[in-house]
Amino acid sequence: MQNNFRGVFLVGCALVFVCLGGFYYYNSDIKIEKVELVSPDNSALKEDIHIALNKESSLYVEYWKEGESKKYRTPVSESKVDHTVHLVLLEPNTTYEYQIIINGLLNRSTKHRSFKTREQSAWMVHNWIKEEKLNDATALGEGLVMLCYRGYPGYIAMVDGKGTIRWYWQDKTMGVRLATITPRNTILALLAPANRDEFKTTEKGKETGVATYYLRTGKIGFVGGTEIAEIDLEGNVLWRTNIEEKDIVFHHDLQMNQKNQVMSIFRDYKMYDLEGTGMAKDTLWGDGVMIMDTLGKVVKKWSAWDVWDISKDKRIKEYAGDRFHFNSLSLDADGSYLLSTPVENQVWKVDSNTGKIKWKLGRDGDFEMDSTAYFYFQHNAHLNKYGDLMLFDNGDFSPNDTTKINKLSRSLSFELDTVKMKAKLKINATLPSLYYTARMGATFLMPNNNILQTSSKTGGVVVTDQKGKVLWSLNSHFIPYRAEYVPSTIWRKYINFKQ
């Protein structure tokens, strides 16, 4: 019995060694016939490595900056003869070393090879970090900051904590109004020709409260876009739609939901009789929410005019050209719309199915809240990672008394009790006065619990703690409408892990 068992065991071992030997022979017989490096779009920030084998095998690439021990590894390229491996987030004018790993039970590494990225394009060279300012690059964590330039040439750029551009996409004919990361790790962008904004200022001597801000007029209004595009992390345009041809203008925000549909704020009008003459001859401009698929087909839309009682609106004549001025759109946990409504100094929650306004947060709203937490002409209302409602308070005037100048911008977050209808202030991160921005601006709570704040009018983007202390600052040479935090996790398709 024991002899039989021993015999079976020896035969089994022999078969294992034969298989291993055969596999090793097959694996060692795989040869690299050709390696070619190509820089897509002549970019200084990405490199494609084309690898041809003599027979099918999977592989991956390890690479690192010359002289540094920190290594990056690409995901495994599936078994085939011809491979293209994409290296992204490279630094310009930098030498990289790399080796190709033939993947298998017994991996085989090639000798070290190297390449050097070219110098950055002259139009992208800028002193993004001012040395005289306090800057802690680690305050940004592992992520990047994404900015958009709405002039010509319009572009999207991602900058690291040291002020180095690590990714960019440029359009030849349009400016980029804004861009955001989608649930499928792509970039959704709103594009528009430069100098198409339509707005007017309040007559001198007639400024009262919010009337001091630029009022949108006409269809395109302010920060309006005429095209939308989705771009992958290699810079390829996946699709592009001209919405102006569909008689649609999007503005101020653009998001993609979990169904991969595009959500945005659109300009909507209503004919009304302001003078009581019996003829609806006055055009009132307002806003709504539109859902569109990636082919440009409108799936759903809601207009604020559908739920607004104009007859009871005492300010309708004053704001006939821009009644609501919605400037951000996001989703609550139940799929309802969260809309920043700065003319009212409120955030509205709108049922996406019924279209009814469920509640209003802010001064004269539905929540009991500390009056010092009122906000003025806010932007970028959304849920942060803790489920709290977060927004950027521009703070032109005092939250309690709109006749008093304030001029302090800050990030706020609220824990909302929708049963007792109480709003508890959780974060109050007030920026130093030099970063006050009368209009635009944004806030994002990062994974490390620091806050990325955009001071648009000053051209500044800063990372602060939750008290508002500036830890890191970026110096932009243009007005960034909204800087967005880009987490390192979105690059997993290209960078598997770091050693």
Task: Name the strand (E) or helix (H) holding 26.
Answer: helix 2-28
Higher pLDDT, 262 or 26: 262
User: For position 319, what pLDDT does the model report?
Assistant: 87
| pLDDT exceeds cutoff 70 at 66 | yes
Of the pLDDT bands very low, low, confident and very high (cuts 50, 70, 90), residue 498 is low
Residues 384, 332: Cα–Cα separation, whole Å: 10
Coil, strand or helix: which one is 449?
coil
Supply the mean pLDDT for the chain.
87
Most confident among 200-204, 269-273, 284-288, 350-354 (mean pLDDT): 350-354
What is the number of other CB atoms lying within 10 angstroms of the CB of residue 397?
19
Q: Which residues contact 438 (CB under 8 A, 6 or more apart)?
A: 213, 377, 394, 396, 407, 457
**CATH 3.60.20.30 assigned to 122-498:** no
Question: So what's the architecture of 31-116 in CATH?
Answer: Sandwich (2.60)
| 350 within 8 A of 365, measured Cβ to Cβ | no
| pLDDT exceeds cutoff 90 at 436 | yes
Residues 228, 255: Cα–Cα separation, whole Å: 11
Mean pLDDT of 75-84: 96
Of the pLDDT bands very low, low, confident and very high (cuts 50, 70, 90), residue 129 is confident
Residues 281, 125: Cα–Cα separation, whole Å: 52
| pLDDT exceeds cutoff 70 at 217 | no
Of the pLDDT bands very low, low, confident and very high (cuts 50, 70, 90), residue 152 is confident
Of the pLDDT bands very low, low, confident and very high (cuts 50, 70, 90), residue 364 is very high
Q: Which of 22-36, 87-101, 292-306 has the lowest mean pLDDT?
A: 22-36
| pLDDT exceeds cutoff 70 at 196 | no
Mean pLDDT of 254-265: 96
Residues 47, 33: Cα–Cα separation, whole Å: 19
Which has the closest alpha carbon to 56: 92, 29, 90, 19? 29
Mean pLDDT of 154-183: 93
Q: Where are the domains of the chain?
A: 1-30, 31-116, 122-498
Residue with tokens 């243009």: 478
User: For position 211, what pLDDT does the model report?
Assistant: 43
| 390 within 8 A of 382, measured Cβ to Cβ | yes
Higher pLDDT, 18 or 140: 140
| 286 within 8 A of 324, measured Cβ to Cβ | yes
| pLDDT exceeds cutoff 80 at 74 | yes
Task: Give the N- to C-terminal CA distance of the chain in Å, as an integer.
Answer: 51
Which has the closest alpha carbon to 221: 338, 325, 339, 342? 325
- For residue 432, say if its preceding peptide bond is cis, omega within 30 degrees of 0: no
Task: Give the model confidence (pLDDT) of 270-287 as tens digits.
Answer: 888 888 777 778 889 899
| pLDDT exceeds cutoff 70 at 381 | yes
pTM above 0.85, yes or no: yes
User: For position 54, what pLDDT does the model report?
Assistant: 95
Q: What are residue 223's phi and psi, to 5 degrees?
A: 60, 35
Higher pLDDT, 405 or 437: 437
Give me Rg for the CA atoms of the chain: 28
Q: Which of 67-76, 266-275, 297-306 has the lowest mean pLDDT?
A: 266-275
Q: Which of 153-162, 220-229, 353-362 has the lowest mean pLDDT?
A: 220-229
User: For position 6, what pLDDT does the model report?
Assistant: 58
| pLDDT exceeds cutoff 70 at 214 | no
User: For position 497, what pLDDT does the model report?
Assistant: 56
10 Å CB burial of residue 454 (0-12, 13-18, 19+) is buried
| pLDDT exceeds cutoff 50 at 18 | no
The tokens for 273 are: 């009789």
Task: Please report, rounded to a whole number, the percentage of residues in the chain having pLDDT higher than 70.
Answer: 86
